[in-house]
Amino acid sequence: MLKHRKKEDKKDHKKKSHSSIDSPRKRLFLFILGGWLLLLLSNQVDEFSLYQGAFVATYAVGIASIILLTGYSGQLSLGHGALMAVGAYAGALTINNLKWHPVVALIMATLIAGLFGLLLGAAVARFSGPYLAGTTLALAISLPSLANQFPILGGQQGLIFDVGATPARFGDEFSPYKWFFWIAALAALIIIWFVANIAASRFGRTFRAMRDNPIAAQLCGVNVARQKVTAFAISSGVAGLSGGLLVMLITGVSPSAFPLSLSLLLLSGAVVTGLYNLKGVILGGLVLVVIPEIAESLLTRIGGSENLAISLPGFLVSALLILAVMFTPNGPEHIFKRKH
Amino acid sequence: MIRNTRTKRAVIASALITAGAMVLSTIPAQATETTGVTATSIKLGISSPKTGSAGLVYGKVPGAMKAYFDYINANGGVNGRKITLVSHDDKYLPRLAATQTTKLVLNDKVFAIVGALGTATHSNAYNAARLARNNVPSLFVNTGFSGFASKAKYPTAFMVLPSYAMEAKIMAKFIKDTPALAPQASFLIAQDDEFGIDGVGGFKSGGHTFAATPTLYPQGGLTSALAEGALTSLSAVPGKPILVLFGTTDTTATILKAAEKLALTNKFTFMAGSVGGDANTLLALGVKATTVDGVISASFFPDAKDATDEYVKQFMEINTKYNKGVSFDNTVLQGMNSAMLTVQALRAAGKNLTRTGLMRAIDTKGSTFASAGLAPLNYSATSRVGYNGYWIGQLNAKGELKPFGGKLTLYTTDSASAPVTASTFVRKSIPKNGIPNN
Amino acid sequence: MNGLIVNNLTVDHGAIRAINNLSFLVPRGKLTAVIGSNGAGKTTLLRALSGLKEVKTGSASWNGKSILNTRPERLARSGIMHVSDGKSVITELSVKDNLALAGLWRKDKKDVAAATAEVIDLFPILGERIKQNAGSLSGGERQMLAIGRALIARPKLLLLDEPSLGLAPLIVEQIFQTIKALTTKMDLTVVLVEQNAMGALKIADIGVVLNLGTVVAVDHAQTLLNDPAVRAAYLGI
Amino acid sequence: MTQFITAVLTSLSSGAIYALMALALVLVWRSTRVVNFAQAGQAVLTTYIGYEVIQRTGSYWIALVAAIISGAIIGAFIDRFFMRPIFKRVTSGPIVLIAPVVATLGLLGIIEAVIGIVWGLNNQSIEPPVSNAGLNVNGTVIAFSLFNAFVLGTVALAMILLTLLFQKTNIGLALRASAYSPEISKLSGIKVDMVRTLGWAISGAAGGLAGMLYVPSTYLFPNAMDILLVFGFIAAVIGGLESMVGAVAGAMVLGFAINFVTTYISTTLVFPTAFVVLILVLLIRPSGLFAGKKGRSA
């Protein structure tokens, strides 16, 4: 798989020359086309695959938020799960208390998380790499205790996140998993489209300038501090959306839904993806879903209680992760080609 | 850097890849009443933590259930059907519990879920896997969260454990009724989650008031330092205050060790909740036998060490034969007991097994099933509550839980406001060789 | 033959060709000035020679032994010392420690001590500042420290990158004179890369003129100094 | 009053443990610019090795030495066979920020899985080598035992030895130089790669020590050190990630903050306290208490 992806990257560079005109309209068209393809596809496969496809899309959105932060503005967050949680709770409260449509709830999830990111970012985004990493990490592990401070969040029990029955117009054969998949896949497409636009915008170029050489960027009159806060806020918003999608899929939001391992999982996905490589986010999401499946299915034959059978999946997943990093698409030469 | 052709590839790749995600798979036959059942087999499923910190505590459950089913299969199975148990690891994470349980229903096509573990995990999994919509039974949910008894919210779920609230109410009653304890000031140290919270609620509705606001600590946050701090602050309390510990066994151990360090083991009367009172673990974690000796705890089971108990004896034999190398403890006892209840439910549902039939069988006959539990099972057309009582015991230096004051008194109550009453319930004796014959 | 021989050297900087098929020769014991405008590939050349930069094609040898694609530390230990540009001192370390670096791996501790003493004779100011952090030194002092550190390894070939960069004319003069003195006194072979072509050629035996990664002229420094074309192009006269 | 004293004492003992973990992380950070999550695994693995030695020899002291040595070996091994290849491939761009981190996460997973396979998922416990009974100060037993004293003493000793190593020896000079400027160090003839591996080895040893000092006051299981790693990292960040003194200072700040908050405000605030302390420190000093002149960014 990785080989195949390297080939694709090569192609990018060749094509780069005549790919430099960017027309939002064309992008919009392609994005609609993609949606249509997914729609066809969703009628061809079984429910569980749809459910997992929805997870793939959800992770893809999460990875996109990491890419926005790390890939485009050079900041490192180890606690993105916390930002996802903010979105998730915001969405759940919207549905449960305001009784609004789930899609609106997801939009709320994005906005609230973005706002939260803006406030948090205003305080912490100026911290350099490891310091920001430490802060977000500390935030992530504080989440359960913080959630318990606010009864409205339902404590450890958490809140139900119920998108309700599938729209009647699709008929009653229409499975809720397909409904999940449509929502998540649509969200993922919108985010890819959105990130692609950002990246191509002046805004995105400033990000990269800032990432590659903050001092130079500053000299060119870029307000690095503000840019970083903005990047952090946008990334939080996207993270919030993926958080909303995640709890939609698991039908409830509770602090235990956002363990540290989730934040780190997304980070891994982002690396597998290759930080610049937007189309990769879906591949990244896919890897996060499929690898554990493979690992487990390899072992279902082995009996239940033996240490080996229990610990081997974890071993395989981690091993594959390391391989992915060692063969990450962002080799040095790759970076160079991007810079010139 | 991201150009529109990249986006094109992005979108197309996304489509193709998602296609890949739908790994070669077939359109499922709509879930039916008899999914997972053939003339010769019944497929059951469980999603529970096998790895991670929770795996430490509950990892033995699926193995124990499987062992008992293997034993039954070796003895002819249920109505000629062999039971297979598909077990997935959810690491105690809602996200994984939801996918694993959905997988059990949609891919593994199990007939029913048995012994699902954890509150947040299974409540999410239950809805995500659409157990209600697909009419998939979730038998003998392994958690003290009373919510699962709600037929409205979880129409196909059956509780087995008494709720944390019941336990707390019964402890409150026990303190009130025990002359040695009643006058003493009491304090609660509990985990800051539904477990601790329900406990607090239970004591309240049990009419018990603590001398101070409960000390709640976050999961994984109870360091020895924190425990020592908490105990020191209580060391000045006059008399022999009661310390109620509502947490997992390792936290109980941390607190007991702190007491040892501060030479306060005789200063307090320790009451450990049933979840946190597993003596074997306490001793394994290095708590001194002299400290364990005298700790008050609650249980609805016989002591897992008590080989004179016919159920324990039988389960121990099965464990040594079908669960090789796994030491027998409360968790194994609990797993095998759930498995035994499952087998009786399957038998009660009769030859032509259906999901509805299975659930009706438990509703109608469940309360008569033979089980190791010393408290009655409360299944009925209107109730999905399992055991509803506890007996209070005291650990001895060997780590055996002996009835407090020598005589075993069983208290029963509910999760709400019903009074706590001493019960005269006597459990059914074990069917021959532990093979149900109902 | 003895000395530094560079043959058809080609080095890429990512997509950019920094050095193109470059050849020149530095006789042993001579001071060679490599001059050329910004981006002529001077620094890249030195980095390639000291093993910091991977070379695409071509060869380079010192006293008959190839030195290409060898680890920098191995070259350093074999007597090829590269004083990189930007006043290469470790600002967080004291002057003493900075000097010590180049002696850490040397067996002959006596000689290290001796060399250190010599360096301090050479640059007394370093003696006065020996305990201070290198960060507290002036540009000139840092350059002295960097050169001094190189000398402690008893180098045979010294690669100097822009020692005059950002220094006051007086200091530059002093440094250049020291370099010239060293070459003769310690039988050093020196490759001096400089923007300050005039100053460099004045002290050099040989001059190499680079442009866009290739050699455009090699000759005795004096001759180059008097060459009108060179004067016009690089000496701004 | 006793409450206050207890708070101080428990703060010291927990701070000491955080300090060792922070130290281990700082050592790697300085030399390789990696936040080494695998350290939690390295430390717990070496502690399991120590546990195994105790089972065989019955001696904590032999086990302690074994743990420290094996910790060093494992650390060196990881750098040589995992980190070095990764850094050969990944040299620039933001990927450098996270690829190594993710690699260490993968290692953590592998190590913990291996432990699960070899020792199984059970709580084990290691007996303290000296009494863990609280000392009796005129009548009242305080929350400070010989073992706590031993821990504090050992950590202090380790600190002193490391400081001497770094400040007074040639190896120390090489370690510092390579951390500050790999290029200049190479040009001065220092084998920077080897020096880095050495840094990882020392860090691994520190982790092993941390495990052997931490576990006796709690239990041993595959994830035993995860939380400790998080606290250690937070402490290191508070300290500025660059300096060992900073790591210890940060650890103590964290230890005191947590234990005083849990004693006087609420026990539920363990983790939020860590978060708040970190934020406050960084708001005042964006690159930690003891960061080098130029607060390096990863």
DSSP state of B430: P
Cβ of residue D194 closer than 8 Å to a chain C Cβ: no
Phi, psi of B274 (to 5 degrees): -60, -40
| Range among B274-283, C81-90, D244-253 rated most confident | D244-253
Tell whether A304 is covered by a domain.
Answer: no
Give the distance from residue A280's alpha carbon to the nearest chain D alpha carbon, in angstroms: 14
Given the candidates 1.10.10.10, 3.30.460.80, 1.10.340.30, 3.40.50.2300, the CATH classification of the domain at B165-299 is 3.40.50.2300
pLDDT the model gives residue A283: 79
Chain D residues lying within 8 Å of C102, measured CB to CB: 188-189
A339 pLDDT higher than 50 = no
Please tell me the total count of domains within chain D: 1
C38 pLDDT higher than 90 = no
Residues in contact with D30: Cβ distance below 8 Å, sequence separation at least 6, in sequence order: D175, D179, D199, D241, D242
- Which segment of A264-278, C220-234, D227-241 scores lowest on mean pLDDT? A264-278
Flag if B225 and D259 touch (Cβ within 8 Å).
Answer: yes
Give me the mean pLDDT over the C28-52 stretch.
84
pLDDT the model gives residue C4: 87
Q: Which chains touch B (3 or more CB pairs under 8 A)?
A: A, D
Cβ of residue D93 closer than 8 Å to a chain C Cβ: no
pLDDT the model gives residue A305: 47
Cβ of residue A292 closer than 8 Å to a chain D Cβ: no
Nearest to B107 among A19, A48, A246 (CB): A48
pLDDT the model gives residue A112: 95
Q: Which chains touch D (3 or more CB pairs under 8 A)?
A: A, B, C
Closest residue in A to B193 (Cα–Cα): A156
Where would I find the beta strands (DSSP E) of B58-161?
A: 82-89, 112-114, 138-141, 157-159
Distance from C-alpha of A28 to C-alpha of D248, rounded to nearest angstrom = 54
Q: Are B293 and B38 in contact (CB under 8 A)?
A: no
pLDDT the model gives residue B233: 87
D238 pLDDT higher than 50 = yes
Chain D residues lying within 8 Å of A296, measured CB to CB: none
pLDDT in tens, D89-99: 776 666 777 78
Chain B residues lying within 8 Å of D259, measured CB to CB: 225-226, 229
Q: How much is the pTM?
A: 0.86
Given the candidates 3.40.50.2300, 3.40.30.10, 3.30.70.2860, 3.40.190.10, the CATH classification of the domain at B41-162+307-387 is 3.40.50.2300
Q: What are the DSSP calls for C15-29, one per residue?
A: TEEEEEEEEEEE-TT
Chain D residues lying within 8 Å of A327, measured CB to CB: 89
Residues in contact with C72: Cβ distance below 8 Å, sequence separation at least 6, in sequence order: C50, C51, C52, C82, D183, D186, D187
pLDDT in tens, A88-101: 999 999 988 888 88
pLDDT bin (cut points 50, 70, 90) of residue C55 is confident
Of chain B residues 13-32, which have a CB less than 8 A from chain A? 13-15, 17-23, 25-28
Distance from C-alpha of A196 to C-alpha of C233, rounded to nearest angstrom = 47
Nearest to C104 among D180, D184, D190 (CB): D190
pLDDT the model gives residue C87: 67
Residue ranges of alpha helices (H) inside B285-423 are: 289-292, 310-322, 330-348, 355-365
Cβ of residue B331 closer than 8 Å to a chain A Cβ: no
Give the distance from residue D135's alpha carbon to the nearest chain A alpha carbon, in angstroms: 33
Of chain B residues 216-245, which have a CB less than 8 A from chain A? 218-219, 221
Please tell me the total count of domains within chain A: 1
Of chain A residues 275-334, which have a CB less than 8 A from chain C? 333
pLDDT the model gives residue A243: 95
Whichever domain contains D229, its CATH number is: 1.10.3470
Give the distance from residue B57's alpha carbon to the nearest chain D alpha carbon, in angstroms: 8
Distance from C-alpha of B413 to C-alpha of B416, rounded to nearest angstrom = 8
| Stronger pLDDT, A300 or D296, i.e. the higher one | A300
Closest residue in B to D216 (Cα–Cα): B286
Of chain D residues 117-176, which have a CB less than 8 A from chain C? 170, 173-174, 176
Give me the mean pLDDT over the D120-142 stretch.
87
Cβ of residue A214 closer than 8 Å to a chain B Cβ: no
Domain ranges in chain B?
A: 41-162+307-387, 165-299
pLDDT in tens, C150-186: 999 888 898 988 888 878 888 888 888 888 888 888 8
B321 pLDDT higher than 80 = yes
Residue ranges of alpha helices (H) inside chain A are: 2-16, 24-42, 47-66, 72-73, 80-98, 102-124, 129-149, 176-200, 202-212, 214-219, 224-249, 260-273, 280-297, 307-326, 332-339
A161 pLDDT higher than 80 = yes
The token pair that represents B168 in the structure block: 């707390």
pLDDT bin (cut points 50, 70, 90) of residue B10 is low
Tell whether A67 is covered by a domain.
Answer: yes
pLDDT in tens, B165-195: 899 999 999 999 999 898 999 999 998 877 7
Q: What are the DSSP calls for A32-61, one per residue?
A: HHHHHHHHHHHTTS-HHHHHHHHHHHHHHH
pLDDT in tens, B91-112: 889 999 999 999 999 999 999 9
pLDDT the model gives residue A13: 40
pLDDT the model gives residue A335: 35
C234 pLDDT higher than 90 = no
Nearest to C102 among D183, D189, D191 (CB): D189
pLDDT the model gives residue B14: 52
Distance from C-alpha of B223 to C-alpha of D160, rounded to nearest angstrom = 27
Identify from D92, D171, D183, D188 which residue to disrupt to test chain C contact, counting C C-beta atoms within 10 A and taking the largest count: D188
pLDDT bin (cut points 50, 70, 90) of residue A214 is low
Chain C residues lying within 8 Å of D189, measured CB to CB: 73, 76-77, 101-102, 104-105, 153
Identify from B5, B25, B130 which residue to disrupt to test chain A contact, counting A C-beta atoms within 10 A and taking the largest count: B5
Q: What is the mean pLDDT of chain A?
A: 78
Q: Write down the ipTM of this complex.
A: 0.83
Cβ of residue C99 closer than 8 Å to a chain D Cβ: no
Domain interval for residue D288:
2-296
Give the distance from residue A336's alpha carbon to the nearest chain C alpha carbon, in angstroms: 6
Flag if A313 and B89 touch (Cβ within 8 Å).
Answer: yes
pLDDT the model gives residue C237: 58
The percentage of chain A sitting over the pLDDT mark of 90, rounded to a whole number, equals 19
Domain interval for residue A223:
44-259
pLDDT the model gives residue A100: 86
Q: What are the DSSP calls for C65-122, one per residue?
A: EE-TT--HHHHHHTTEEEE-TTT---TTSBHHHHHHHTTTT-S-HHHHHHHHHHHHHH
A308 pLDDT higher than 70 = yes
Give the distance from residue C70's alpha carbon to the nearest chain D alpha carbon, in angstroms: 12
Nearest to A30 among B7, B50, B130 (CB): B7
Give the distance from residue D181's alpha carbon to the nearest chain C alpha carbon, in angstroms: 7
The percentage of chain B sitting over the pLDDT mark of 90, rounded to a whole number, equals 56
Q: Which chains touch A (3 or more CB pairs under 8 A)?
A: B, C, D
Closest residue in C to A13 (Cα–Cα): C15
Supply angle C-alpha A65, A70, A76, rounded to 5: 105
- Which segment of A33-42, A101-110, D247-256 scores lowest on mean pLDDT? A33-42
Chain A residues lying within 8 Å of B23, measured CB to CB: 49, 290
Identify from A335, A336, A337, A338 which residue to disrupt to test chain C contact, counting C C-beta atoms within 10 A and taking the largest count: A336
A159 pLDDT higher than 50 = yes
Give the distance from residue D222's alpha carbon to the nearest chain B alpha carbon, in angstroms: 8
pLDDT the model gives residue B86: 92
Distances (CA, A) of A90 to A101, B366, D263: 13, 42, 33
Nearest to D180 among C84, C93, C100 (CB): C93
Closest residue in B to A293 (Cα–Cα): B100
Distance from C-alpha of A165 to C-alpha of A178, rounded to nearest angstrom = 12
Q: Do chains D and B touch (3 or more CB pairs under 8 A)?
A: yes
Q: What is the mean pLDDT of chain B?
A: 88
- Which segment of A60-64, A335-339, B343-347, D115-119 scores lowest on mean pLDDT? A335-339
pLDDT the model gives residue A249: 93
The residue written with tokens 């509703």 in the block is B363
| Range among A67-76, A193-202, B384-393 rated most confident | B384-393
Give me the mean pLDDT over the A22-45 stretch.
72
DSSP state of B301: S
The token pair that represents D44 in the structure block: 């717990």
- Which segment of A190-194, B376-380, D91-95 scores lowest on mean pLDDT? D91-95
Q: Are B147 and B128 in contact (CB under 8 A)?
A: no
pLDDT the model gives residue A3: 38
Q: Do chains A and D touch (3 or more CB pairs under 8 A)?
A: yes
pLDDT the model gives residue C1: 58
Cβ of residue C135 closer than 8 Å to a chain D Cβ: yes
Chain A residues lying within 8 Å of B193, measured CB to CB: 144, 148, 155-156
pLDDT the model gives residue B312: 94
Give me the mean pLDDT over the A148-170 stretch.
79
Distance from C-alpha of B89 to C-alpha of B76, rounded to nearest angstrom = 29
pLDDT in tens, A244-261: 999 999 998 988 888 888
Half-sphere exposure of C212 (CA within 13 A, CB side): 0
Distances (CA, A) of B329 to A111, B58, B61, B386, B400: 50, 11, 10, 21, 11
Residues in contact with B79: Cβ distance below 8 Å, sequence separation at least 6, in sequence order: B346, B347, B350, B351, B353
Total length of chain B: 438
pLDDT bin (cut points 50, 70, 90) of residue C19 is confident
pLDDT the model gives residue D210: 94
Flag if D188 and C104 touch (Cβ within 8 Å).
Answer: yes
